[in-house]
Structures are given as C-alpha cells and as structure tokens.
Chain A
Amino acid sequence: MAFEIPRVKYTGRIREVVIGSGPGAVKVGGADCYPFYRFEGEMPNPPRVAFEVWDSEPQEWQEWAIEPFRDVIGDPVMWAKKCIETYRAELIVLQLKSADPNGDNRPVEEVAEVVKKVSDAIQVPLLVWGTGSDDKDADLLRRIAELSEGKNIAVGPVSDKNYKQIGAMAIGYNQVVMASSPIDVNLAKQLNILLTNLGVNEDKILIDPTTGGLGYGLEYTYSVMERDRMAALTQEDAKLQFPIICNSAPEVWKTREARLTKDDDPRLGDEKKRSVLMEAVTAMTLLVAGADIVVMRHPDSVSLIKDMIGELCA
C-alpha cells in the first residue's frame, strides 16, 4: 500500500474581515487550514504586515529605529505616507501613545483630530491602537469611530471592561473592533461572545491575543494562538473563527536586548542587526502560530517577513 501523508481534518474556517474602504481595502482571514498548511487547505488572503506610526514623536526610540523615519517622525501624517510610499506599507497602525493617562494624557479631541488627519491623508486601511487604559480608550476610541465614519477603520484594544461603549459606536459607524484579552483562549472567546451579543457583526472582529516579545513571553502567546486556531479550525468553535492581529512591535523594541548597544555588551553584537532580527523572529513566530496581521516597526525586518510570507504562499 502506498504511503499516505496523514491530513488534519478541518471542520471550520476563519472568517474574512475587510479593513478599510475603496481600492486600498485589505481582506484578511478566510483560511480553512493551519497557518501556511496550504497542502491541506486554502489560505485565500495571505497574512499582512502593518507598519506602526505614533501619534506624537517617540521619546525613547533607539537611534537605529528612528533612522528610517528621521525626516517624518514628528509628523504622523508624513510618517504614514513615508511608510506607504517608500516602504510599501499595506496597512498602517496608528499608536495613540500621547493619549496615555499615565503619560502625556492628551485630551480626546486633540488626539482624535490627529487620527482624522492621518486617515484622510492615506488610502491604505488604518488601524487605531488606543492606550490600553479601559476608561480612556472607551472615550477616545468611541470618538474616533465616530469621526472616521465610512472609513471602515479598526479600533482597539477593546476589553471586557469597555466593549460596550466602543462596541456600540463601532456598530453605529460600521468600524472593525480589535478584541483584546490577556493571553487566554477562554477569555478571548468570552469577549467575542460579548461583542457579538452586543450586535457587533461577525465580520467586524479581529482577535488581539496579547503579544509577548521574543524572550518576554512570546511562547505563551504562541501556544494560546495555536489553541485558538485548533479550536476554530478543528473544533468548530465559531466564537474563535476570527482573524488575529498581534501588536508586536512595541513589545520587541522595548526589551533590554533591543536597547543595549554593542558598546554596552560586546557579546551581543551589532545592535541594529540584532533588533531587526529580534523583530523579524517575533513576527515570524506569530505568523506561524496563526497571526493574520503583525504590527512591525523597522523596514528591514518588515522586508524579511514579507519575503517569508511570499515564499510560504508562493
């Protein structure tokens, strides 16, 4: 008898979610097999990289992270444009760092204004990432959802504490939500149930499983994502059949290993190369675990990852 390669039996499919509108809109999800298992099923929409842009000039970035954006780093609109025009970004994530109540705590209206400017200036889909403070995000993302009517942007992180406020506006203004839960399959699922019960359309949800950077909990994120995908694809768990987004860039770039220079510790080698590789390895790992969108910072690591996706989807 001829040898037959054993196949996984899939019973589910990830929903397709469209972000953005017009010709630049991007569709993610839709797979009916494990990530890149294209010999067992279909992956109609390849995973995407989203470039991150901050809403205000970052104060603590490494010299080698600033370098590609030095000319635009004080202006979110120009920064986003450079990502798109120079580095071919297909998605932009705007990180609303300046709104953080533990930091600058810029008022909602001011920050929302910045978001509007960026979203008006670009053709590619915009994802807006709040502060992580439940209360602030409830106000901020609500306002942004309202101001961005018709743009089909994605807003998040939406937690079990503020899903009602943000979810209701997302429904009203037809935006996508990024449902964020702390590295746990059940919590992810519970939030999705709450959101769908609220009336959020099932093709308007992305899962944010909470991302740990390489060496800082990436393995937890990995196994939770793996289990998310197993439940969604082989156990017909409808409430987990949503695309996954990983906001990984800030996690990678804040680690000690991405900050130390060669002079600080010669054993660690060249700092730029090291950070770029750390970012690429983190993103690669997340993609292999099932991410549909990874958020990245450095154009060099992005190009490595795009090569990888290209090869695996060829």
Chain B
Amino acid sequence: MPPEYRIKFLPIDRTYPAEKGDNLLETAMQAGVHINASCGGRGVCGKCRVRIAGGSVGSLPNPLLSGNDWAMGFRLACTSTITEDVVVEIPFESQVDRSILTRSAILSDLGSSAANEALAVRYGLDPLVARYYCELPKPDIDDNIPDAARCARALSAKADCGEPMFPLGVLRDLGMNIREADWNVTLDVAPDTCEITRVTAGNRQSAHYAVAVDIGTTTVSAELIDCRALSAGSMVLASSTDYNGQISYGEDVISRIMYCRKRRGLAKLHDIVVSTTRRLISDIVRDAKIDIKDITHIVIAGNTTMMHFFYGIDPKYIMLAPYIPAATAFSPSGPESLPLMPGLDARVYSIPGISSYVGGDIVSGVALSGMADRSGITLFMDIGTNGEIVLGNCEWLLCSSCSAGPAFEGGGITFGMLAAPGAIEKIHINPFTLEPMILTVGRARPLGICGSGLIDLVAELFMARVIDRNGKFSLEKQGPRLRRGENGMEYVLCFASETGIERDIVLNEIDLDNIMRTKAAVYAGCTVLLKSGGIEFTDLDSVIIAGGFGHSIDIEKAIIIGLLPQLPVENFRFMGNTSLGGARIAAVSREFYTKTADIARAMTNIELSGNTQFMNEFMAAMFLPHTDDRAFPEVIKMLGNR
C-alpha cells in the first residue's frame, strides 16, 4: 500500500486522505471541496489556483501563474500531485458555504481484473473454444487412417470431446494444411458441438484469444480477452467502444424496426451493426498487436432487437402486439453462416435473452452481478437506452424494460457523449457564483458531457437553485453562465475557449427535459417492479447499477435527482458495462455460459408498456427528486424549505 497523506483544505477545514501521485483537483472533488475549474483539469483555464500553505505538491510552473504567484505558493490544482501532507488554501473566489457541501459518494466501476479472475476461477476456466497443440504422427502404410481421424485420435489423448467433427469448410483444406504445417498443428475445438473449428500450423497455444462484444442500441463495445488469463495476468488485453452506426436510422429500437420495413432495410441495418463490430475488433486487434487468427471465438451480448439485426433476422414482430421476437437464444455459428471479417473464423456465441425487451445483455449482467446466487434481494438496473431492471435473488427473478432513452449515454443531449477522453465526468458547481469545477475523462480538453457528468450537473444545478423541483430552469438565478439560447434557457458549463470543440458546452431546457424523462422512467420502472414483487426499497440488500454512462457514479447526486432510491450508500454497487462483463466471463468459462441460460429461463418478464401503474409512477417521478417527498427524506431535508 502506498503511504497515505493527509490533505487539509482551508478555510473550510476539511482533511481528506490521499496517496502519493494523486491529483490535487481530483482529491478535492472527492473530498467535496469546491475549486473553480472549467477546462477539465488540463491546465488551460487557470481557474483552479490554490495556495499551498503548508507542505508542498509536485507541480510545474505554468504561464497562467506569474513568478510572484508561484513564489507565494500558488499552484494550479489540476496539474499538482500529492507528494506529502499538505495544507491547501482555497482562494476566495472558489469558496462555498461549507454547510452546503455534501461529501460525494463516488462509486467506481467494479469491473476490475481481480474481480474478473475471481469469477472465472469460481466458474472454472474453460473457454468456449479450446486450443490444443498436437504433433500428429505422420501417416504410413500401417497407420493409414484419414487425416480427419488422425486429428481426432491425437485430440482424444488430450481432451474429452467425444467424436470430433470437421465442418466442411475446415475439411476442404485439411489435407493441405496439416502437410504444410509438417503435421504439427493447433486444433481449435468447440466442446459443445464437438467440432474442430480450425486447424492452424505450429503451436499457437500460447496465443489464445476471444472477443467479448456488447451490442447496445446506442453503443457497441468490444474487448479482447486472453483465454489463458490466469497465467497471463490481465484478462482484458484491449477494449474499444463506439456509437452503434445504426443511430442514424433512429435512436430507439422501434424506429430501427420501422426502418427494416423499407426495401433492403434489414440488410442495411445488419451490415451496419456488423461493420461497427468489425471496426471495433480491428481496433482491439491492432491495439493488442495480436494475430486475428488467434481469436477462436466471440461472445455477444445484446438486446433482443440488436441480436436480430446482428444475425440478420427480421425483428418486425417485436414491434407488433403481442410483441414476439423470432428468438431470444441463438445457436453458435461459424464463419460459413455469419462471415464477420476476413481472416476471422471465430465461432460466434451469444448470451440468451428473455423477451422482446429484455435481452441477453441483461441476462449477461445479472449473471455477472451474482444476484441469482444470493439469498438477499438485489435490484439490478441497467441505465441504458432500454433501461432494463431486474429484481430478485437465488429463488426468483423479475425483469422489466422501461424504455428510458439514451440520455445517460449521451443520446438526445446537445453536448452529450460517451465516457471517452474529453467527456466531462465529474462536476461541482459553486451555488453562489455558479462557477463550475469539472473533471474530464483522461484530463483532456472538454468535448462534451457523459452520463455521470449529466447526473452531477443536474444535481448541482438543482442544489444551487438554478433548476426548480419541476426540472425547469428557475428564472430567479442570474449570472454570466445563465442565458437564453436557441433552445430556451441554458447553463454554460465551459466557454468555447476552454473546450476542444470551439463551442460553448451548455445544458439547455430540452436536454433537461430528456434527462428528467429518462430518470423518471428508470425510477418508475423500479417502483412498479418492486410493487409487483411486494417489496419495499428498504427490503433491498443491494442495488447494482450498470450502464455505460461513465467510469464512476456519484450515488448521492443520483439520489438527489431521484434516479436512484434513497438508500444508504453502502447498499449500492456500480458495475459499469455488465453486459460486456458477462460476455467476457462467458468467453473463458463454459459453466458461466451455461449459467446465463439458467438465468434466462428463471426470469419472469413484467410488461411496462401500456401499464397504467407505470404511467402513474412515471408522472410522479417527473419531479426533483420525486413528487413523493416521503421517499426522499434526506434530499428534502437538504433542500430546506424548498
């Protein structure tokens, strides 16, 4: 453990621990200490000036600080690192009445490699496609069995995979391949169907990879997995995320299905999602510098509609009552039926789903969360475009989809973006001056705001009384950052000169409406699901939050806006993209993959579309934090008499 230092912030007199090398601005953010900072921590805006009143920090001179300032101990917090105990004086213009500050309760993504490995060990490391190196005895007149039987015989000495079969595509070149390899070959075997999916020359056992893919309505993510993770160190070798190219054909699944009705519509949407996936796979293969031929299999988790598109199956009946998908489980397929990209002849598996609106992505997440193994009751919420929620324990599981919309993935928000470098992910706002303190992913120049930033922003504006309880700009507050724009009132988070996009980054009324709708749908979905199970929020053992809206989430702020129920912070866990996480574990553990099928079978789906109780709860949740003050007593207390 690196030694812990004590950082004392004056004049509010709050001490907070930090480790060597921690960034001072980040530490302040964690400690709930406001320091103006509007360039995301890039050392560009010069607003994060603080004076070091005791001890010292690691910091380089910056043209924004005069020699005189430097001598007096002024530093830019965003470019200072902790090296010892230090006393930091916050200048007057950054100060906030301390009574208003709440300490943040930031939970980071739990998808750490240690957790992954623990899970893989628990389920047993046993990749969906195995690799074996065989030195085949050369045939002669006494040992003259066919090439295929020769491979099978060699394999039976190493693994129990019955009578292995060769798909035609592999068989056609088999004779030539093994001879060119001089009889020393690596065989890829899919134990589920006893198929030898590929024959490669030489010993490739030390290079055995899989790809996990999450196909979301708004975003697609892929990871390169090392199938020998336990010996090779980290399991995830590279990862990449991008918007689903289908977005230009509609933001939600319904509009995409509508598009499918056009001539060649389905083929087009299929091509687009496949090419998005292909691009991501190329990225990670390039980043990890591996040979694409060493990818033996791919595990895909996606919502039901996306899986239809991916496999090129017409999803039209999903949209029509009574909303029936063609399938929710898809059998493993090879490159013959699903050619993804040249050179890649990996077998494709997918995590099974439950219904039209609760797909394999959710099953994957639920399996990863472990909620179906525990007796305590867990609420699992995936805050993505469809907003799926699962409630239950080892005995029962209820699930729903509440059509939350893509706001927290950056969709439908003027300056919304994915949690990529340059995304503003943490925000504090001085309630008096309305000056912001922001941090961006990768400390790059701000480009936009990601989901976690949006949650912070709305909560902070609300606490600063810039936003009223009905989620509208209050016209009482004024300042240089509040103005009337094209879309009604807006708050300027970053002025153009501080950004990487040469435009002011703002939050406007339309954005606010979209966020309100999304958060209301999620909360209403949870309420209805809990009522269906006869459960109160306080009966919950834990609440697991999944979704691609950031690398962390400030639970307290999410409660302030009524996205999450008011429960003790310790009850929450943030797991990031659990759909991808589940696919990742399934890739290396056959037992885990089987478990996902069990979970899919065990879930009961509760339909929320056209559910009057849901509509009613939705209206109740279209307020900050909620129409029912009694559900958010602490927030109401914080608001005082508002």
Contact = CB atoms under 8 A, between A and B. Distances in A.
B470 interface: yes
A186 B626 CA distance: 10
Contacts of A193: 469, 623, 627, 629
A239 B626 CA distance: 13
A186 B468 contact: no
B622 A186 contact: yes
A257 B623 CA distance: 39
27 contacts: A160-B470, A164-B475, A184-B619, A185-B616, A185-B619, A186-B616, A186-B619, A186-B620, A186-B623, A186-B627, A187-B619, A189-B627, A190-B470, A190-B622, A190-B623, A190-B627, A193-B469, A193-B623, A193-B627, A193-B629, A194-B468, A194-B469, A194-B470, A197-B469, A197-B641, A197-B642, A239-B629
Interface string A168-196: 00000000000000001111011001100
Contacts of A186: 616, 619-620, 622-623, 627
Interface in B598-642: 616, 619-620, 622-623, 627, 629, 641-642
Nearest to A189: B627
A22 B485 CA distance: 49
Tell me what chain A mostly uses at the interface: helix, strand, loop, or mixed: helix
Interface in A193-231: 193-194, 197
Contacts of A164: 475
Given A190-B469, A194-B470, 12 more contacts: A164-B475, A185-B616, A185-B619, A186-B616, A186-B622, A186-B627, A190-B622, A193-B623, A194-B468, A194-B469, A197-B469, A197-B641
A185 B622 CA distance: 12
Interface of B: 468-470, 475, 616, 619-620, 622-623, 627, 629, 641-642
A239 B469 CA distance: 14
A187 B469 CA distance: 12
Interface in A156-171: 160, 164
B536 to A, nearest CB: 15
A160 B469 CA distance: 11
Interface residues of A, number: 12
Tell me what chain B mostly uses at the interface: helix, strand, loop, or mixed: loop
Nearest to B617: A186
Interface of A: 160, 164, 184-187, 189-190, 193-194, 197, 239
A52 B242 CA distance: 62
Contacts of A190: 469-470, 622-623, 627
A160 B470 CA distance: 8
B402 to A, nearest CB: 17
Contacts of A197: 469, 641-642
Contacts of B623: 186, 190, 193
A19 B217 CA distance: 55
Contacts of B470: 160, 190, 194
Contacts of B469: 190, 193-194, 197
B13 to A, nearest CB: 32
A89 B260 CA distance: 64
Contacts of B620: 186
B265 to A, nearest CB: 38
A184 B615 CA distance: 11
Contacts of A187: 619
B615 to A, nearest CB: 9
A239 B629 CA distance: 10
Contacts of A194: 468-470
A187 B621 CA distance: 10
A285 B414 CA distance: 48
Nearest to B641: A197
A186 B469 CA distance: 13
